[in-house]
Amino acid sequence: MASIPGKIDFTCESTGCMIYRIHVQCPCVSLRSKHRLMMDTLLQTAKRNAMKYSKPKDQMFAYGTAGFRNRSDLLDSVLYRMGLLAVLRSKLTKGTIGVMITASHNPEQDNGVKLMEPMGEMLIPEWEIFATELANAKDEDVATVLQRIIASASIDTTIPANVFFARDTRSSSNTLAQCLQEGIETLHGKYSDFGLLTTPQLHYMVRCHNSQGAYGQPTEQGYYNKLSKAFLNFRKLVSSGSGDRGYSPKIIVDGANGVGALKVPQLISFLEGTLNITVCNDGTTGKLNERCGADFVKIQQRSPDGLSVIADTKCVSYDGDADRIVYFYVDEDGSFHLLDGDKIATLFAGYIQHLLTLSGLELNLGLVQTAYANGSSTRYASQQMKVPVACTKTGVKHLHHQATEYDIGVYFEANGHGTILYSKRAEELISSTCGNTSLSESQRHAASCLECLVNLTNQTVGDALADMMLVEAILYARGWTIHQWDHSYTDLPNRQLKVKVKDRTVITTTDAERKVTTPPGLQSAIDEEVAKHQHARSFVRPSGTEDVVRVYAEAGSQILADKLAYDVAIHVFNLAGGKGDMPRPPDA
């Protein structure tokens, strides 16, 4: 007699009758098997779609601090695959992942993509490796690489996935967003398309959503509401005796013809007329980042095109996606003055230290810089302000990580990318101090001011809009002109050069990239050149994206800084396999 499907049969020894016993299968096992089969199907669909968004032949991609960046016409495959990866990261973290389509300060013809962790941080290093592997996989190997990532990270693929994404103003961003969206949909992830946002706004919204609103409302209006409320409350707290001193609310903003220029008017509408902001380079005529923006102003040490400078008036430059900011002004003699990330960082750290002293709060404050920080800023912070200074490798992710070692960590790169991090302990202590009636009124007042600064800070990433608001709040409280801020310390003259080499990997460094370990003899040559000048230093480091070695030098005068940079560049060319023309002397 045939067995009944799905049942176990046996014969009764006393009667010889066939007995049927129902085999009860665990529903969890059944569901897992069903889902595993479905995921296998989805992975095969991902493989077929990879053919549609085929990887350019012989093109290699590398995920770094800035994510992926390249010519926009080469990125369809990358965006599709990052949609797939974002779904897997969401499943593993059980949170919403952010994806921003931008190439920041790069030219308009470029584009890029970066992923964000659930609390708005940058993608963790282990997953940068997965991103690079997936982006470079052959089309026919995409499913295999996805399976390997799932196995390696022990991802429960039954967990639902959710992705937030946005883009900057580049003409290529809409097409790339469609590629990303199809990647998300292929693995049945859910998504929210926020359209045009600054990169920091998306970081903020991702954190708000995953904190269930504890950090704020995950909308663009929620972003403006939080910043403006903190800014206006702070001004009320410090208004006595501040507004009638040297501070001026007039600001000219260079929007780099990017998305930040579109967002400033929206922010202004929440500020009740407290700031007088004029936006130039708003994208109506000029090209994105072309002879304008924070990177141009920082490197060229001059005002951007498209902006009519008024003597002694505060000017601000954002970069293309508004995660960098530098201040500058031109004095009555026509001289250009730059207040970069170093000046912003010391302004923040100095005022926070002032509030900590007034409030009596015992919190560990630290300042984090890179080797590119001007030596004068480091000495000013450590010797005059008495704030501990740490130096890390170049790259915002390194500074951000180091800043978490403090109760309050201020970090900035000289290029204007930075923010302030407050530990949970710091936020709780500040909040409790505000309402502690056993303390003096002045202590509670200082703590309340500090609490406003906490809420005025985008702690997820450097944010040009939020950082500008912080600068203006502190200048208002100090009653300072931009001259007074600028004169807090004097930058040492410096120069940056690039040397083309055959292979940038021949340069290896240590001591937060301030010392060279290879090739042999290069560091001793640099030391000999530096020893020829007073108040001088120089270092070299390989580019992260091209076969170029970057040279930095500072000295007591601009002429000497230029000469030192040139002399070091010659050593790099000779000892590290220079390519093309020799570096040119400063007076050439």
Catalytic residues: 104
Q: Which residues pair with 328 in a beta bridge?
A: 315, 338
The Cα 170–Cα 413 span in angstroms is 25
Residues 6+ apart with CB under 8 A from 58: none
Would strands 190-196 and 162-167 be described as parallel, antiparallel, or unpaired?
Answer: parallel
Q: Which residues pair with 19 in a beta bridge?
A: 10
Helix (H) or strand (E) holding 329: strand 325-330
Record the tokens describing residue 410, joined without a space. 């201020």
List C-alpha distances in Å: 306 to 320, 427, 468: 15, 42, 20
Contact 414, 371 (CB under 8 A): no
How many Cα neighbours within 13 Å face the side chain of 426?
21
The Cα 193–Cα 177 span in angstroms is 9
Runs of H (alpha helix) within 396-520: 396-403, 424-434, 441-456, 464-478, 482-486
Contact 380, 308 (CB under 8 A): no
* 412-417-422-424 Cα dihedral, nearest 10 degrees: -130
Helix axes 27-52, 76-93, angle to 10 degrees: 160
Residues 6+ apart with CB under 8 A from 505: 542
The Cα 454–Cα 230 span in angstroms is 8
Record the tokens describing residue 529, joined without a space. 């050149």
Mark residue 497 as left, alpha or beta (left: phi above 0; alpha: psi -120 to 50; beta: remaining): beta
